[in-house]
Structure formats: structure tokens, C-alpha cells
Structure 1
Amino acid sequence: MPVFTNAGSLRIGRFSEPGGIYLITAVVHQRQPLFADWRLGRLVVRELRELEAEGWADFLTWVLMPDHMHYLLQLRDRTLADVVCRIKSRSSLAVNQTLGRRGRLWQKGYHDRAVRKEEDVKDLARYVVRNPVRAGLVERVHDYPLWDACWL
């Protein structure tokens, strides 16, 4: 049965379901380019790895840009809202502790897109990881330190 979430998470009319694949975009508060420092980005990556190890979701691909993040995930037994909330809250704690600060790390909410069964997930993953190239940060994806894909 679909799980409906509150207005602060999935867009109106959306639901999350186990096994569903979703493309998520989360933006840093005031678009601060905090993750230009890849060491801060690794703190977010650690949270993704923990969630995967704990069985919340499978992260098919992700890229952490200086001021936002994209990730393609397949839910296991948690709702999309639970997964995104956990990533944002735990990474906020880790980054703030490292920087010796308090306050918001991420903007409220996030953009979600359910991936339809007929879509090619690998093509979508390629699009996600090519973000640093399209943004002019690097010439080749492999030169960027904050991305991964399960097919590698």
C-alpha cells in the first residue's frame, strides 16, 4: 500500500513504495558551496553508506556538487521521506560539528522524481554523475571526487 507523506517531503499526489526508484535533489541552505571542500562532502557520503548498510535504501548513483546533491535510490523498507530526512539530519550534524557551527545545512524540502519502470535507469545514472562535467568543474567524471554508481 502506498505511504503518503507530509507536505514537507514528497510532492502533492506522490507516494513512496518499497522497491521504488527515485531521483532526489537536495540543495544546501542559501546555496552555500560547502562541498567544494571534498572532506565535508565525504561526511555526507558516510551517511549514505550507513543508510545502505542499515538496509534503508540502495544508492544506485549519487553526485555531491558544491551546493547541492543528486542521488538515485531504490527504497527498501523505509519511506522516501524517512530516508531523505535521515540523510539531511545526520549529515547536518556531522558537517556542523566539523565546522564548529550550528544551524541549517540543507534547504527545507527536496525535489523528488519517481522513475518509471520503462525508463533506462543507467541512462539516468549517467546523467546524474555527469553533473560536474556539465557544470564545468572537471573535464572528465573520473576527475571529480564526490560521486559513485553501483555499476562500477
Structure 2
Amino acid sequence: MSAYKFNDPDGIYFVTFTVVEWVDIFTRSEYKRIVLESLRFCQKEKGLEIYGWVIMSNHLHLIISRAASGQTLSDIVRDFKKFTSSKIIEAIEKNKCESRRNWMLWIFSSAGKKNRNNTNYQFWKQDNHAEHLMSNKFMDQKLNYIHMNPVNADMVDEPEEYRYSSARDYSGKKGLLSLKMIE
């Protein structure tokens, strides 16, 4: 049985992926790039459809569904989290300039030891807080929440100023990921 519950296989969901212990890993661009590349791969090869997204310092929010011919959302999320976990851990291990390397690896190792499903490290928290978006009003609320995250964190004054978000696309600019727009 899958750890990721998506009861309507064709539904649109708001999900949150949180780094264990809320480690601020995504303050470095190289780790954000791994997430973006993996999302692009999931879009192209697995049928992931993205309606909205934001990468914050220690978590990311997505509004997603699957294409009719795509894999299940449970499988896509599982593969995304597994791949990004291993790639980010590998990047931390190889990055001799990462001042937080030992501390972060210790946290991820400690979390991994507490989870019988892991062999070494745990990067993402197990859950994803999937919320089925069944109305346009609920979709709009979640999209606004996603786009306001960087503003509420005092990172930018306006949502479209934040590079790692779909707010740019919704303001008419070109963003970093291909989107299926909510209308």
C-alpha cells in the first residue's frame, strides 16, 4: 500500500514536501536545481501536471495532478521524493564548500535511523499533506497561499519577484517550470 494517499486518481491536489527537522537546505541554488530538474523529468516522463509551485528554504508546495496517460500520483510522488533525496544527499556529501555539511548529514542520518524504511538517510518527512482540490475557490485559495509564501516570509515584496515560484507565470512572465494554468 502506498504511503501517499491520492483517493481520486484524476484529481488535482495541493501537496507539501517538508525537509526533516525543517533544515533550511534550499538556501543554496544547487539544491533547488535538483528539485526543478526532477520536477521537469516527472512532467516529461511520468505525466506529472503542475498548476502551481513554490520552493521555500525547507519545504515546497505544489498543486499537481497526473496526465490521463501518466503514472499514478502516488508513484510519481514516491519516485520524486526518493530521487531528490538521494541526489541532494549526494550533492551535500560532494560539496566541500558546504559549511553545514556535517551538521546536515548528521540530521539526515539521525532521521534515517529512526525510520525502518530507510537504510542511511531520510531527507523528506514521510507525509505530504495531500489535499484534494475539488472546487475552483479552493484551488484559488491554495494558489494564492503558495504565491504569498515568499511575501509572508519577507523574502520579496510581490509574489512575482520570487524566482522559485509559479507566481511569475501567473503574472504573465516566463517561469522556471512548464505549467498547466488554473483559469
Q: Which range, TM-score by smaller chain?
A: 0.7 to 0.9
- AA of the residue aligned to 1:99: I
Q: Which is higher, the Rg of structure 1 or of structure 2?
A: 2
* CA distance in structure 2 between the partners assigned to 1:41 and 1:16 by the alignment: 29
Q: Report the counterpart of residue 128 of structure 2 in structure 1.
A: 110
Superposition pairs of residues 55-74 of structure 1, within 5 angstroms: 55-74=46-65
* CA distance in structure 2 between the partners assigned to 1:91 and 1:105 by the alignment: 9
Cα-Cα RMSD: 2.0
Once the two structures are TM-superposed, the CA of residue 147 in structure 1 deviates from its matched residue by: 1.4
Once the two structures are TM-superposed, the CA of residue 119 in structure 1 deviates from its matched residue by: 3.2
92-101 vs 122-131, which moves further: 122-131
- Does residue 134 (structure 1) correspond to residue 158 (structure 2)? The answer is no
Contact 2:65 2:73 in 1 (8 A): no
How many pairs does the alignment contain? 142
Unaligned runs of 5+ in 1: none
Once the two structures are TM-superposed, the CA of residue 130 in structure 1 deviates from its matched residue by: 1.7
**4+ residue runs of structure 1 moved beyond 6 angstroms?**
none
CA 1:128/1:108 → structure 2, altered by over 3 Å: closer, same or farther? Answer: same
* CA distance in structure 1 between the partners assigned to 2:12 and 2:123 by the alignment: 25
* CA distance in structure 2 between the partners assigned to 1:123 and 1:108 by the alignment: 25
Contact 1:16 1:79 in 2 (8 A): no
Unaligned runs of 5+ in 2: 94-104, 106-119, 170-178
Q: Which whole-Å deviations, capped at 9, do the CAs of 1:58-77 have from their partners, x for residues lacking one?
A: 11111011111100012123
Superposition pairs of residues 1-152 of structure 1, within 5 angstroms: 5-6=1-2, 8-10=3-5, 15-18=7-10, 20-76=11-67, 77-100=70-93, 103-119=121-137, 121-148=139-166, 149=169, 150=179, 151=181
Contact 1:38 1:145 in 2 (8 A): no
* CA distance in structure 2 between the partners assigned to 1:68 and 1:28 by the alignment: 6
Once the two structures are TM-superposed, the CA of residue 16 in structure 1 deviates from its matched residue by: 3.3
* CA distance in structure 2 between the partners assigned to 1:39 and 1:123 by the alignment: 30
Q: Which whole-Å deviations, capped at 9, do the CAs of 1:6-41 have from their partners, x for residues lacking one?
A: 3x222xxx61313x1000011101110000113211
* CA distance in structure 1 between the partners assigned to 2:145 and 2:157 by the alignment: 15
Percent identity for Structure 1 against Structure 2: 22
